[in-house]
Amino acid sequence: MDTVMIRGLRVYAYHGVKEDEKRKGQPFELDIDVAADLHKACQSDCIDDAINYSSVTKCAVRTMLAEKNDLIERAAQRVADAILQEFPAKEVTVTLKKPRAPVAADFEYMAVRITRRREA
């Protein structure tokens, strides 16, 4: 299996349990792994045979901005679902990081990682 990787995709969005998070928004960061068979793209050198990482990026950003979710788990699930729906991926892993989570502690980020597979 081959993997298209997107790292550190920054999106300013409006997710969180607290109303202030949904109103003011905050930065999020995504790491996305899209597993697919890329043999055809490797042979043809044609973008139409590839998982276009620019298109995947646009899909993820659009999905992050389409709704306001309480949980980052839900937002990550929506991104994974959208990618599986729009691209011929066999599996997608989304790591959604929340660097400004409202937690009274010194941390780099809070995050969730989910992996979803295409239904057979």
| Positions marked catalytic | 98
Length of the chain counted residue by residue: 120
20, 43, 39: which is closest to 101 by C-alpha? 20
20 vs 79: CA distance, rounded Å: 23
Dihedral, CA of residue 40, residue 42, residue 44 and residue 47, to nearest 10: 90
Amino acid in the structure at residue 101: A
